[in-house]
Amino acid sequence: MKILHLIDSGGFYGAESVLIELAKEQRKQGFDAQICSIGTKYDNEKAIETICHSEKIPVNIFRMRAGPNILGAFEILSFAKKEKFDILHSHGYKANILFGLMPEFIRQIPFIVTLHGWTSVTSWTKMWLYEKLDAFLLRFRKKIVLVSQAMLFHPNLQSVKSKCIVIENGISPEVPRITKDAIEQKITSLKQSGKKIVGSIGRLSYEKGYDTLIQAFSQCDKMLVLVIIGDGPMKDELRIIANKKGVGERVHFLGYVSQADQYLSLFDVYVNSSRTEGTPITLLEAMRASISIVARDVGGNRLLLGDGVLGELVEDELPASMARAITDSISTSHDKVDRAFKSFIENHTVAVMANKYSAAYHSLVSMQYQL
């Protein structure tokens, strides 16, 4: 089976990481999985394209005018038909809209979408309009993949629930080797000074809740240090918050780091402070790394952490609540960490995810032939 994964990537985040893992596993299982990377004529090589080259995943690059460019979509469709792809698999609103606007009798190739999650956006902005159009076009899909059970309750999906299936994200069970570099030296030196490391990885944006995390951290023991790996629009604001709370010297912003998951095993506690989530890749990586976990009770986090059996859940946005959870996690028994690792191996590896997608593809193809 030939699968063309469609994505307009704006960086290398959770959805991109999952897609790379999925394509690698599918090729390992004998599928001809390729990636179609969409962008504008002003884009240089994207991170996902660079990684595809390094991982030997075939990547087909299409550059087009920004916005819902129908001519660009037909160029991709023409390529897909010429190369005899069996499935078009979309990851993100741009491809969802481009191919969702096409009548099925023109598209012909079975089309499936994975919703990795919608972010919180301001009403009547361009992104808000795109998300509304994306949600509207879902009613014309035969099969919609959600990455967490919690997404079933999203208002945008109530009219299409019967078409939705849940396939949670998965990652490789192999723990990456730590690169001996400046980041490793920084974290190691903090540990050697007797500090406990509270760590987090993510984009420095509002939905990730780092403002709350820093306020919570200011209420924790002074022998803790906070390490945040990532970059984004709130970087300067978060530094100001840390200084105002008197913890500026104990909060370390390490910036964007490629393959940041390799440093997880150096953390004592991993914190997911997000305001919205699907099934976060970083929590899976923390489970794989066998470290204590604290996570906001949003999206798929509760299910992922077994109602709190596998990690500490924070049920509100109060910094004091998160501070208590971080403090409790420092003394978490190793049994909880072991159970989290076992759950990861049984339920959240990339092989488990790929097998579920394979079943979804075959079901979709059968539906197409029945018409």
- Per-residue pLDDT tens for 234-282? 999 999 999 999 999 999 999 999 889 999 999 999 999 999 888 889 9
Q: What pTM was estimated for this model as a whole?
A: 0.86
Rounded to 5 degrees, what angle do the CA atoms 351, 353, 354 make? 65
66: which DSSP letter?
S
pLDDT band at 112 (very low <50, low <70, confident <90, very high): very high
- Torsion over CA: 121, 124, 130, 133 (sign): positive
pLDDT band at 368 (very low <50, low <70, confident <90, very high): confident
Q: Region 217-236: what's the mean pLDDT?
A: 97
CA distance 219 to 247: 10
Lowest mean pLDDT among 128-137, 173-182, 183-192: 128-137
Q: Which of 211, 220, 213, 216 is nearest to 238 (CA)?
A: 211
Is a pLDDT exceeding 90 seen at residue 369? Answer: no
CA distance 161 to 44: 38
Is a pLDDT exceeding 80 seen at residue 121? Answer: no
pLDDT at 371: 54
pLDDT at 119: 66
In one-letter notation, the amino acid at residue 146 is L
pLDDT at 299: 87
Q: Region 316-339: what's the mean pLDDT?
A: 92
Is a pLDDT exceeding 60 seen at residue 95? Answer: yes
pLDDT at 279: 83
pLDDT above 70 covers a percentage of the chain that reads 98
**Rounded to the nearest 10 degrees, what angle do helices 319-330 and 210-217 cross at?**
60
Task: Write the pLDDT tens digit of every residue in 328-355.
Answer: 998 776 889 999 999 999 999 999 999 9
pLDDT at 137: 92
* Contact call for residues 311 and 290 (beta carbons, < 8 A): no
Q: Region 284-304: what's the mean pLDDT?
A: 95
pLDDT at 197: 97
Q: Region 111-116: what's the mean pLDDT?
A: 94
pLDDT at 120: 61
In this predicted model, which residue has the larger pLDDT, 69 or 56?
A: 56
Encode burial over 248-276: b for 16+ CB neighbours within 10 A, e otherwise. Answer: eebbbbbeebeebbbbbebbbbbbbbbbb
Spell out the domains of the chain, with CATH numbers in brackets.
2-172+350-369 (3.40.50.2000), 182-347 (3.40.50.2000)
pLDDT at 10: 86
Is a pLDDT exceeding 90 seen at residue 84? Answer: yes
CB atoms within 10 A of CB 154: 16
Task: Write the pLDDT tens digit of every residue in 8-60.
Answer: 998 887 889 899 999 999 999 999 999 999 999 999 999 999 999 999 999 99
pLDDT band at 150 (very low <50, low <70, confident <90, very high): confident
pLDDT band at 123 (very low <50, low <70, confident <90, very high): confident
Is a pLDDT exceeding 80 seen at residue 370? Answer: no
Q: Which of 331, 277, 281 is nearest to 176 (CA)?
A: 281
Mean confidence (pLDDT) of the chain: 93
